Amino acid sequence: MSKTALLFAGQGAQTVGMGRDLASAFPEARALFERADVTLGYGLSGICFEGPEAELTRTENAQPGIYLVGWVALQLLKQRVPGLAFEATAGLSLGEFTALAAAGSLEFEDGLKLVRLRGRFMQEACDTTQGGMAAVIGLDEAATREVCIATGVTLANLNCPGQIVISGPADRIPAAVEAAKAKGAKKAIPLTVGGAYHSPLMAVAQSRLAAELATVSLRDTQVPVIANVTARPHGPSSSIAGLLVEQVTSSVHWEASMRYLIAQGFTRFIELGPGNALAGFMKRIDKSVQMLAVSDVASLEATVMALTAAI
User: Could you list the active site residues?
Assistant: 93, 198
Count of helix runs (H) and strand runs (E) in the chain = 14, 9
Residue 233: helix, strand or coil by DSSP?
A: strand
End-to-end CA distance of the chain: 10
Q: 232, exposed or middle or buried, with CB in 10 Å at 0-12, 13-18, 19+?
A: middle
How would you label 192-225 residue by residue, b for 16+ Cβ within 10 Å and e otherwise? ebbbbbbbbbbebbbebbeebbeeeebeebebbb
Distance CA 233, CA 226 (A): 4
Inter-residue contact 253 to 229 (CB < 8 Å): yes
Query: Backbone dihedral region of 93: left (phi > 0), alpha (psi from -120 to 50 degrees) or beta?
Result: left
